[in-house]
A and B are shown apart, each in its own frame.
Chain A
Amino acid sequence: MGSAYAIEAEELRRTYRARTGWLKPRRTEVEAVRGVTFTVGRGELFGLLGPNGAGKTTTIKMLNTLLIPTSGRARVCGHDVERETREVRRRIGYVFGGDRGLYDRLSALDNLRYFAELYAVPAREQKGRIAELLDLVGLAGRERERVEGYSRGMRQRLHIARGLLHSPDVLFLDEPSIGVDPVAARELRRTVADLASTGTTVLLTTHYMAEADELCDRIAVIADGCIQALGTPAELRRRAEGRRVVEVEAYGVPESAVDALRGLPGVRETAVEARGALQLLTVHSDAHVDVQSDVLRELAGIRLGRVDSREPTLEDAYVAIVSAAA
């Protein structure tokens, strides 16, 4: 254990090159990660937050050896991810969200048996370890059922059990709670918190601010392939200090009205989130300026629902950071 850090990333870059067409081939280049630097301490629970396409998964794939960085370097438990892949792989677990990544025709037990072989869990320890993990993720009693009949929450728990089979020092969790119902997501958060409390280093990517706020010791906000902010949740929350947030539920807000809101005195950022027929307008303003009446005036004639004025949360800080990067 030479290094003081579990994860060290130094100026990591990754460019994807693609070629399309046969007769007239066209080459495209996308810089997914553009110079990411951070460190994660041993036993730390570190969050990587960012919008879709920000470079979170690419960063994780470089750290877990599935991708070679275009430039820069990274080490996991002191081992170089490009040259010492076997040493890195012995020490990491990888869990990602979604329905795929398991052998549907096999039972949970057989899935775990197979990956126990692949991840070099000694034969005499496999049975006990698998039973322990099935109990941990709440699948004991269901382990002989085929995975194809599992709900998404059950699959997600099985993903976690698989990621922990070989007792990894570092666990990468790539949006593990995506598509999971609230109760299952809460159990999952408990599991993650418990892991961290027993010394496992966890790198978590998520879209859910509450999840990051509740779990993470520190958070890096990544957008456009670069880290835009890094600190504890409290430190990041302070990024939104001096602000006030007005939230308005509305139906059929034209782009021109949103532009008008952006032009109001004291308004810093405006975001629109579509939720079915409903649109949720979030207007960030300077704390000393009351923009609520101005906002409602600009939205006159539009059908409105709930209107709320509140203190900024971590999510607001995140929006502010990501908006500033855009």
Chain B
Amino acid sequence: MSGAYLPGPAASPTPFPFRARAALTPSPVPPPHRSPEKGPGMKTLRLMTVGGVIAYRALFNWTTPGMFIGTLLVGPLFQLLFFAYLGRQLQVADDRFYIVGNAVLTASLACVFGGTMAVANERRYGTLGHVLLSPRSRTAVFWGRVLPYAGNGLLIAVVTLTAGALLLGLRIPVSALPGLLLVMAAGSLACGFFGLTLGALGLRFRDVWVISNVSVALLLLLTGVNVPASGLPGWMVAVGEWLPITHAAEAARRLAAGDGLAAAAGPLGQELLVGAGYAVAAAALLKIFEFESRRTASLDVL
């Protein structure tokens, strides 16, 4: 069959007295997406913040009070208590080691699973295709999604540290608190980008939850939060160096011991570097897997 263009009727065949007619009348202003407005930087910032928060509400499974408190606050607190009492029993390390380390680690639950949900739940709702049809920067869209998860992680870490310290009688110098907040924020952000990197795998592999579950267990083992690095085999320590939380936990312990921000600056910088590395890795993987999905139709986008 020839595909030559045959001119068709100029207008729709039937007139429609539909209320939409007035609304659809072309406006004298240019189409919205091409009109000049804020600078590109501000637009990107808005996409990351406003878009990130709406995406969080749309895609994060644990936003109801019951789920949030039970899964993200109560569960991790019991985990902290478990390891603190186990540490006392085995006399491996003091309470500060477990309380501070586990408090920093609690951020990982919201961040790792949040990052995974940020991509995997798009498949569940059948919205991934519409997101991929956006002309906006993928990096901005998905990095923006990390911010609420990191904020969530920070909140959980602060609550867990406060509750753990009160329950077990740990005294933390007041002067250390701003630094601790900074370190926990860095750890949460690094964890968020780590979670997004795992989530990016969701563009290629359907069963990405397996990877998230394994990763959470690995963070528990390899970050030195519950087992001192000196007690781990060399290769595990080496892997832990490239994971989020490892350096944040070390920095937080130094601060809680009253060593000051200068003593924590080294591990804090390392944590930020690890986070930046995962941010770049996530952006690269998202780009690669999106292109691959278009090329191989590997993605059940709709």
Which residues of A pack against B, CB within 8 Å?
5, 9, 14, 16-17, 36-39, 41, 44-46, 64-68, 86-87, 89-90, 92, 94, 96, 98, 100-106, 110, 113-115, 117-125, 129, 132-133, 135-137, 162, 166-167, 187, 190-191, 193-199, 214-218, 226-232, 235
Contacts and interface: CB of A to CB of B under 8 A. Distances in A.
B54 A101 contact: no
B130 A94 contact: yes
A110 B3 contact: no
B166 interface: no
B136 interface: yes
B231 interface: no
A117 B51 contact: yes
Contact of A231 (B6, B23, B125): B6
A233 B230 CA distance: 79
B51 A66 contact: no
Contacts of B301: 66
Contacts of A9: 3
A296 B205 CA distance: 56
Contacts of B141: 118
A125 B126 contact: no
Contact of B23 (A37, A46, A132, A199): A132
Contact of B58 (A5, A100, A110, A124): A110
B3 A230 contact: yes
B46 interface: yes
Contacts of B35: 122, 125
Given A119-B134, A230-B6, A103 B127 contact: yes
B32 A125 contact: yes
A67 B297 contact: yes
A119 B294 contact: no
A102 B8 contact: no
Given A101-B127, A106-B54, 13 more contacts: A39-B4, A41-B7, A44-B8, A66-B302, A86-B135, A100-B126, A115-B130, A117-B46, A117-B47, A118-B51, A119-B134, A122-B35, A166-B33
Interface string B103-130: 0000000000000000000000111011
23 contacts: A41-B5, A44-B8, A64-B133, A66-B132, A89-B135, A101-B125, A103-B58, A105-B57, A115-B130, A118-B136, A121-B32, A123-B38, A132-B23, A135-B19, A135-B23, A136-B20, A136-B23, A191-B18, A194-B16, A195-B24, A198-B24, A230-B6, A232-B8
Contacts of B31: 166-167
Interface residues of B, number: 58
A5 B31 CA distance: 19
Contact of A124 (B8, B21, B24, B37): B37
B133 to A, nearest CB: 6
A197 B129 contact: no
Interface in B1-16: 1-9, 11-14, 16
A240 to B, nearest CB: 16
Contact of B5 (A39, A66, A196): A39
Contacts, number: 181
B146 interface: no
Secondary structure type dominating chain B contacts: loop
B59 interface: yes
Interface in B30-63: 31-35, 37-38, 43, 46-47, 50-51, 54-55, 57-59, 63
Contact of B294 (A5, A65, A117): A65
- Which interface residue of B21, B38, B126, B135 has the most chain A CB atoms within 10 A? B135
A120 B33 contact: yes
A104 B38 contact: no
A102 B133 CA distance: 14
Contact of B13 (A39, A120, A215): A215
B233 interface: no
Contacts of A191: 18, 20
Contact of B302 (A5, A68, A96): A96
Nearest to B49: A117
Nearest to B5: A39
Given A118-B136, A166-B31, A103 B126 contact: no
Interface string B130-159: 111111100001000000000000000000
Listed from nearest, the 5 A-B pairs whose CB atoms lie closest are A217-B8, A100-B126, A37-B3, A103-B58, A118-B134
B25 interface: yes
B1 A230 contact: yes
Contacts of B18: 187, 190-191, 194
B129 A66 contact: yes
Given A94-B133, A120-B43, A121-B33, A110 B57 contact: yes
